[in-house]
Structure formats: structure tokens, C-alpha cells
Chain A
Amino acid sequence: MNLLANLIPVSAEIFLLVMVCFILIADLMLTQSSKLFTYLLVQLTLLGCSVITVGTHEHGVTYAFNNMYVDDLMSDVLKMLSYLGMSMVLVYSRQYLMLRGLFTGEFMVLALFALLGMNVMISANHFLTLYLGLELLSLSLYAMVALQRDSALATEAAMKYFVLGALASGLLLYGMSMLYGATGSLELGVISDAINQGVQNKSLLAFGLVFIVSGLAFKLGVVPFHMWVPDVYHGAPTAMTLLIGSVPKLAAFAFTVRILVEGLQGLEHDWSSMLIILAIASMALGNLAAIAQTNLKRMFAYSTITHMGFMLLGLISGGIEGYGSAMFYTVVYMMMSLGAFGMIMLLSRAGLEADTLNDFKGLNQRSPWLAFIMMLLMLSMAGIPPTVGFYAKFSVLNAIVQTGHTWLAIVAVLFSLIGAFYYLRIIKLMYFDAPESHEPIVYGSDTGLLISLNGLGVLFLGLMPGTLMSICAVSVQQSLLLY
């Protein structure tokens, strides 16, 4: 394979890297007041990336750089969504960060580096590439959490995130090395073949699998590897929480699917029973702990744990239905969490973080439209039709019931009943309680428009979920070469 053919599948990432370096240097020349230029440049970069990703799309699966890198429909779809998500993150955070003096070139460059890391993870077909992408993402995020240097809470969160993240990376690496020992390769396809042909050292394989699953669980933030999630979500400035809580979930999904499905399909029986335990524990603990929270960011942290647990149910089910539903769930979750954290930032002012339950009291009297949008988002998170959250839950439940684990579906719905309580509580606060402050809510027209589109999108996709569902199913089908 010649160099050019290798470069085409990675052209979007190369463009992104070049632009990051350019922005990094260009930003040095700009004064603080003209940061808007950097911001526009970043948005243009995202647009450019999406054009390139669409332009270089090829039917079928293309490998590059000696099978280290893969370009398939799933990766293209996820990348497009991650550009969209990142662009929304930046729109939501602009005003919030400006008021706090964090709207700097570093923030935007780190965000783009994180995006690059995610794209590498999404397209990786080799343990080394996977690890490279993961670390690029994680290191950018650690730095971003710590960006607010004068906040003790943020620093503590960054420290915790870094230490636990490093531990998880260590677990993953250890697991990878064991798999390398058992199968003699780091390439996912070769590992898969080796496992299917039978491996001599079964216990080495089993140990490797346990370490890998633990590492993945850490990165996904599912119980019992969830401890970092509430603290980081709570401690980080809301803009960083938004970033951590939304787009990387797409990459985490791709990462998990690439390793478990493409690499370790032969061990499905083993890992799916581990995932069952992780999923049930996450749904139980996440939902119960979320009830007790008074800080909204912490509450959403526990809600993330729950949602990731629910998403795992899709992976457990397997097949196009299962993986497709898990992907759909992840995409929908990203949309909902973008909206929810976006709303927190929209209500925040200089010197006020609107991140406690009390800040949402009486929102309907202060701004009926924002309250309505937030209600749509909360109903969607609770999985109540006609919002898209219902179809996310529906497709996962359908996949589980098809595999015959009906009891698991019943457990899942019972826990979502508990979950419904704390989402409803927010609706209750907004609609039934009297506001604590009557200060007008000031927000830019760009954020206002985006949050409206976000909320109405959740409703619209709830009325017409078919297309997105099919996109997810088809991309999983074409990419994972199932059946």
C-alpha cells in the first residue's frame, strides 16, 4: 500500500492536527479581546473536518498503516457526531467561560486535542492506536479540569481524575500485555482470529480480559469503578463537565466495541457476564445515589453512571440489534447531556453557578420557554415518550428481550422507575415551586437558539426516531462485519 492510500483514511485527523498547531501559534499573536477569532477558527476547523470526513468516506471497511487504523461507516458516523457535539460544547461554553476569564486559546486547543484523541480512538484497530487516542483524550481532559487554577475544588477534581485515570490506563495496559502474551499480537483482527482458533494459555487470556474490562469500566465510569465520576463532574467548571460528560462517551463506546466485539468476540460469553454485573450495579447505585444529591452536576454524574449501565445492556445483548441500540443510546445520551449541562451554564451568571437544585426553582415563572426545554430534556432522560430518550431505552430493552434475558429488562425498567423520580423532581422544582431569585436570565442569542434546537431536537427525534436508529444499526452492521 502506498503512502497516499494510507493517508486518505486519516486525512481528517491530519487536518485537525495541523489546524490545532496553527491555532496554538496564531492564538499567541492575539490579544485577549480578540479571542473570538480563535473561537471562529475552531468552529471552522470542525466544519472542515466534517467536510473531509464526508468527502473521504468510502463504502466498506478500509484499513490503513498496516491495519493499525480503520475507516468504516461507524467511525465516520461517530466522528461526524463528535464534531457536532464539540461544536455545541463550544457554543454553550463561550459566554460562561468569558465571564470566568477561562475563554483562552489553551481551552480551545485542549478541546481540539481531546477531539483528536477521540477520533483516533474511534478509528483504532490496534491496541497501540487505541491507547494513543485514549491518552491524548485523557491528558487533554486532565488539563482542562485544572484550567481554573484558583479553584481548590477544580484542582482537587483534576488531581483525582488524573490519579484514577492513570490507574485505569495502567490496568488497560496490563490487560493488553497479557492478551499480547496469549495471542502474540496487538492487532484486533489477529487477536480475534487467534482466540477463535484456540489459545493455549487460557488463564492468561482470562486475566487479560478481566484487566481490560476493568480498565474499560473505569473509562466508562460504571460501578464499581465509578468513584471519580461524581467528584470530577462536580469539581470541574461546568464547561469542562459538559465536555467530559458528552462527546467522549461516543469515543468510549467505540473504544469498548472495538476491543470487546472486534477483538474479543470469541470471549463474548465471559465478558458479557461481567458486563451484566457492572450494568446492574451501575443502574442500582447510580439511581439510588442520584436521589440524595442536591448539586445538579453531581446528580447528573450519577445519572451518567446509570445511563452507561443501561448502554452496557445493549452490548450484552449482542448482534446488530444490541450493538446498534447501544450506539443509538450513546448518541441520544450525548444529546441529552449536552442540553442539560448547557442549561446549567445558560442559567449561570458571573459569580453564580446555577448548579444546585434550588437554582431551578420556579424557572417556569422566570422563563417558561427555558423551563419547557428543560422539561423535555428531563423527560427524555427519564425515558418518557414522546421524547427520544424513550426510544433509546426501548431499543435496548428490545435487544435484551430478544436474547431471552427478559428478567434483565425487568430489572432495568424497575431501576429506571427510581430514576424517573429525580428527573421529575427537577420538573417539580421548575413548575411547582416559587423562584428564589427574580433576576432576569441573560443569555446570548446563539446559546438561546442552540438550547432551543437541542430541546426541540429531543422532541423531534422522539416523534421520528426511525432514521437515526437505522443509521446506527447500519453502521454497526457494516463496520463490525456481523453475520
Chain B
Amino acid sequence: MIFGLPVISITIWLPIIFGILVLATGDDKNAPLARLLALAGSVLGFLVTLPLYIGFDTTTSSMQFVEHHGWITRFNINYYLGVDGISMLFILLNSFFTVIVVIAGWRVIEKRVSQYMAAFLLMSGMINGVFGALDSILFYVFWEAMLVPMFIIIGVWGGPNRIYATMKFFLYTLLGSLLMLVALIYLYNLTGGSFSILDFHQVASPMTAQILIFIAFFFAFAVKVPMFPVHTWLPDAHVEAPTGGSVILAALMLKVGAYGFLRFSMPITPDASHQLAGVMIALSLIAIVYIGLVALMQTDMKKLVAYSSISHMGFVTMGLFIFNAYGMEGALLQMISHGFVAGALFLCIGVLYDRMHSRNIADYGGVANKMPVFAAFFMLFAMANSGLPGTSAFVGEFMVIMGAIKVNFWYAFAAGTTLIFGAAYTLWLYKRVIFGKVANQHVEELTDLNAREVLIMSLLAVLVIGMGVYPLPLSEILHASVNDLLVHVAHSKLPL
């Protein structure tokens, strides 16, 4: 805590309170007010996360800024919050992207503005809650609750097939969550009456139980990541979601799944994690290679970036399950970098979509002639997506491959192919959309980025390059927590 203020609580509840205020502005008559309030809420929401960064102690792996109050005493459920290096960065990332999303939707969203803005603010608070929660039921409440605004966002402001997509999104994730709930209750009984995640980390359980718990968690987190066989909701949801929804999905929702692996699966069931690491790595490699190939074949820009996200998240899960410091730290950096890069790419596609109302690659061509500034930004993000050194994506991917090579050459080899496929599908997309002759009348009429869009793009560009050139501040924060996690994972939890 800083000055006795509950910093994490503020980062959770401030956006939620602003969300309710925005909602209270009512119908579209008051849209300007709703926008201003939402901007104020998101900027304030970001500012209040800064004390977490400034006051963070990088030398310890224990939880910081801890808040602990009784909540449902009957089941020993507590309002228990705290962050370590891992979760702190995601709270920052989330609050940052909320600002971006609010600005990105400023003029684009014209119907039910207050509900749109409020949904993002509410979701922002809930995602901060997911990362800040140290009580598993508190975690679960935020985890489930954040589905509801997303469900509404996709369903109301999404594309033509939005209803199918949003139902699929909700039911897929709910399936995983419910199984996780049973696992949490099981663990509660195993610990003798505690829902604290940190207590779960200490409890010993036999192999069969560990494997079952691991599978339950796997369903919850793999669906969110998404990993290979349960990834099919993501392209649908991404394609149909409005730009802001896609950005939050790619930048945050997917990270929540990987975060779950870090916070729950690996430390609670280390033996099962080791046992099943082969399966996890195999699934990750399938995602990296096969989904990479699938991305190559897409004709829809958003679908292409969605598949590219799945492929990049494969790196993250592989990095986690090779159990060494390079892999894990690389995975975490990859998560943050992918947040920036995929978020930026979806914003770029959003810029085009707002003007042309088409996501079809074939409808474009020669955009560079009409939108030179946009083409430059898009170029940077496309390069980052293909893992060019000097951009943020390179750091994470390189570290994961380095970690993998220590375990098995062929893992690293297979993962390395993504540098080729990734470059292929991203640059091919770029070529078809941006270069060449002006394809048609609609492209001819395109106008370049306005000031608002330039602002967003520049912010992201600075971060992407900054993180690529000088990742040390981030890895410093991660270091202690990652090492602690590795110690946890290496330590068998089988009962003696």
C-alpha cells in the first residue's frame, strides 16, 4: 500500500464506478458526455495503476500491495488482493488498453454509446480484479463476470454473424470455468478450508488428483488462451467483434488464460504439469505450425490476425511448459508484446474497416498511395508481428526458442519455423493491402489517419519499439517472480 491507500482496489473499482456513471448518462442524446466521462475514467484508471509500478519492489517474489479483508466468512472466502511482478504488468497493460479502446471508439461507435463505453470500463475493472485476486473465489467471480460485458459488446456492436460468435464465445469459456470451479472447491476441501491461492500452492495432493485438477484447469485456461483443439471460438469472436472488442480480446482476454496456467496449474499441480508437459508442448507446436499455415490461407484480415494470435499464443504456452527461466520469462514478454502488437494490428484493421466497411483482403490494394502515414504504422506493426529484431515480439520469441533448445532441439526447430510463416502471412497481407496500384474506387476515396488515430498509433509504436530495444525494465520486474515460480514448479507436491 502507498500512503495507506488500497491501490489495487482502486484500480479495480475506479473503472467500475466510472462505468456505472457512464451508464447513467442514458441514451445517445448524452453521447458526448458519455464519451468524456469514459475518457476521464479510463485515463484516471490508468494513472492510479502507476503507483503499482513506481512503488514496486523488484527484489522480492512475495505478494505486494496486499489487501486482506473477510468477505464470506462462512466459507473463509476473503477479499484478498496482491500483485507480484507478473500480475502487476498485466494490470498496467489492461488499464493502458482501456484508454486506447475508449479513444478508438470515440467517433466510430454511434449507437448506444454510453453502454459501449460503460461495458469497456466495467470489463477493465474486472480484468484488473482477475490479475489482482489472491483468493480463488474472488478470482473466479471476476473471471466469470468479465464475460458478461464482452458478451454484450460482441453481440450488440459486432458484425453480421455476431450472435453465433458471442454465444459460442460465452458457452465455450463457461464450460472451462465451471470445471475449474469444481477443482477450486476440491482444493478448498484439500487445504482444510481455505480458498487462498497461496494456500493452494502449499497443498500436497496425489498424482491422480493432480492430473484431474490439471485437466479441469486446462479446460478453463486453454479455452481462454486459446490452445489448439479449443481455439475455434476465437476467429469467430474476433471477426464479429467491434474493433475495441477485438483489441481487448487479443491484448487481455487471451493473456488471462496464460496467466491462469502460471498462477494455478503450474504451482498447484507441478507433478501433473511435468507429466503432461509433453502434451502441452505438442499442442503448442501444433498451434504454432498448423495455425500459422491456416493463417496463411485467410482472405479476411481480422481472421488472419486472429489465427496469428493463436499461433503466437502457442509460443507462450510452450515457453511456460519447458520449465526454464528463459522459456518462462520469454513467454511473459511474449504475452505483453503480443498484447501491443495484436492490439495495434486490430486497430489498423479497424481504421481500414471504418472507412471501407470491408475486412476482405481482396477489396484492398494500393492503400499506401492514399494513406502513407497509416502505411508506415501498419508496416511497423506487421514487422513486429513477424518477429523482427528491434521490435518487442523478437525478445519474447527469441527467449522462448532459446529456452526450448536447451530442452530439445526439435522443439526449437519447429517453433522457429514460425519466424518464417509469421513473416509470410503478415507481410503477404501487408503487400496485398498496402502495395500495388490503387485497386478500386473505394480505395481511391480513402483519407489518411486523423489526429486521434495518429495519437493511438504513435503510443503503441513507441511501446513496441521501446520494448524491443530496451526490455530490461520489464524483465527486471518479472525476474524475482519467475524464479520463485520455477522453484515452486520444480518442487514435487506428491504426499510423502
Contacts and interface: CB of A to CB of B under 8 A. Distances in A.
Interface stretch (A55-63, A94-102, A149-157, A414-422): A414-422
Contacts of B74: 466, 469-470, 473
B141 A420 contact: no
Nearest to A420: B174
Contacts of B144: 384-385, 390
A466 B73 contact: yes
A469 B72 contact: yes
Contact of A413 (B27, B148, B181): B181
A401 B215 CA distance: 17
A483 to B, nearest CB: 17
B182 A390 contact: no
A406 B182 contact: yes
A421 B171 contact: yes
Contact of A401 (B155, B178, B185): B185
Q: What secondary structure prevails in chain B residues at the interface with A?
A: helix
B75 interface: yes
A410 interface: yes
A158 to B, nearest CB: 38
Interface in B172-203: 174-175, 178-179, 181-182, 185-186, 188-189
Interface in B57-89: 71-75
B302 to A, nearest CB: 20
Nearest to B147: A384
B170 interface: yes
Given A424-B167, A469-B74, A409 B185 contact: yes
A355 to B, nearest CB: 23
Interface string B91-135: 000000000000000000000000100000000000000000000
B163 A397 contact: no
Interface string A154-192: 000000000000000000000000000000000000000
Interface string B137-179: 1001100110110011001100000110011001100110011
Contacts of A414: 175, 178
A293 interface: no
Contacts of A410: 179, 182
A428 B154 CA distance: 11
A142 interface: no
A401 B189 contact: yes
A417 B178 CA distance: 8
Contacts of A466: 71-74
A330 to B, nearest CB: 17
A382 B188 CA distance: 23
A409 B182 contact: yes
Contacts of B27: 368
B182 A432 contact: no
A413 B147 contact: no
A386 B141 contact: yes
Measured as residues with beta carbon below 8 angstroms from the partner, the interface class of chain A is 20 to 34
A2 B107 CA distance: 80
A398 B178 contact: no
B72 A417 contact: no
Contact of A397 (B147, B175, B182): B182
Contacts of B163: 428, 432
A402 B185 CA distance: 9
A431 interface: yes
A420 B175 CA distance: 10
B472 to A, nearest CB: 39
Contacts of B181: 394, 397, 413
A460 to B, nearest CB: 14
A402 B167 CA distance: 33
B148 A384 contact: yes
A391 B141 CA distance: 10
B145 A386 contact: yes
A421 to B, nearest CB: 6
Contacts of B151: 424, 427
Contacts of B179: 410, 413
Contacts of B186: 401, 406
Nearest to A415: B178
Contacts of A391: 72
Contacts of B115: 368
A432 B166 CA distance: 11
Contacts of A409: 182, 185
A417 B171 contact: yes
B141 A385 contact: yes
Contact of A398 (B147, B171, B188): B188
Contacts of A402: 189
A386 B189 CA distance: 23
Contact of A428 (B148, B167, B175): B167
Given A406-B182, A420-B174, A379 B155 contact: no
Nearest to A391: B72
A391 B170 CA distance: 20
Contacts of B162: 432
A457 interface: no
Nearest to B180: A413
A413 B155 CA distance: 25
Nearest to B212: A406
Given A384-B174, A394-B185, A424-B167, 7 more contacts: A379-B148, A385-B145, A401-B189, A428-B166, A432-B155, A466-B72, A469-B72
11 contacts: A384-B147, A384-B148, A391-B72, A401-B188, A402-B189, A409-B182, A416-B178, A417-B171, A420-B170, A421-B167, A469-B74
Interface of A: 368, 375, 379, 384-386, 390-391, 394-395, 397-398, 401-402, 406, 409-410, 413-414, 416-417, 420-421, 424, 427-428, 431-432, 465-466, 469-470, 473
Interface of B: 26-27, 71-75, 115, 137, 140-141, 144-145, 147-148, 151-152, 155-156, 162-163, 166-167, 170-171, 174-175, 178-179, 181-182, 185-186, 188-189
The 7 closest A-B pairs by CB, nearest first: A413-B178, A385-B141, A466-B72, A432-B155, A401-B185, A409-B182, A385-B144
